[in-house]
Amino acid sequence: MAKLHFYYASMNAGKSTALLQADFNYRERGMATMLWTAAIDSRSPGASGFDIVSRIGIGAPAHRFSAETDLGQAIVGAHAGAPIAAVLVDEAQFLTAAQVWQLARIADDTGIPVLCYGLRTDFQGALFEGSAALLAIADRLVELRAVCHCGAKATMNLRVDAVGKPVRHGAQTEIGGNDRYLALCRRHFRESLNQ
């Protein structure tokens, strides 16, 4: 029976790298995959031309989803044309709850495993909609480890401004990398925000 997997972590834990490795493993064995990433992530495609790019420099092309994308229909349609062995979703925190249920139906009804990779919480420690739905219904939850500057497990994402000062308020989604976010343990996250 195929499963819906959720691999989650803070920033800099290697989520995209793990997705790309899983994709490589399927493809190396001659199995077709379908990769998805959030359309809201304007950082890609960059000079590499890839839609999913890891901080260590590897990447792959992918389909883009927005809140309006019917993932179920797109995946079933593609699978009817050429069998898909696995669906891999990067930036899964940006999925809607309805899209998470569409992915669950893909696993349940078509037998295609769905592997989702994303952040658990935003810069204020609140769950993203997609992450909340995945935490609620995924068959398998796997926490990937990121490391705080103190060496402890990083579980929080601190947003910083252009000069490195902590940001406490703002929109839940602001795309950025190491220039905008720091992966911290809860204690250093709290201390950074003076909580």
Instruction: Tell me the pairing of strands 181-184 and 156-159.
Output: antiparallel
**What gap in Å lies between CA 73 and CA 85, rounded to an integer?**
16
Give, for all 195 residues of the chain, the pLDDT tens digit.
Answer: 899 999 999 988 889 999 999 999 999 999 999 999 998 865 555 545 567 777 777 788 899 999 999 999 999 999 999 999 999 999 999 999 999 999 999 999 999 999 999 999 988 888 999 999 999 999 999 999 999 999 999 999 888 887 778 677 666 666 656 567 889 999 999 988 885
CA distance 143 to 135: 11
**Domain 4-145 architecture:** 3-Layer(aba) Sandwich (3.40)
Cα distances (angstroms) measured from residue 79 to each of 8, 35, 72, 86, 111 = 26, 13, 10, 10, 11
Catalytic positions:
91
On whether the CB atoms of residues 64 and 95 are closer than 8 A, the answer is no
pTM of the model: 0.89
Which of 106, 78, 148 lies closest to 2 in space, CA to CA? 106
Hey, what are 121's tokens? 């919480």
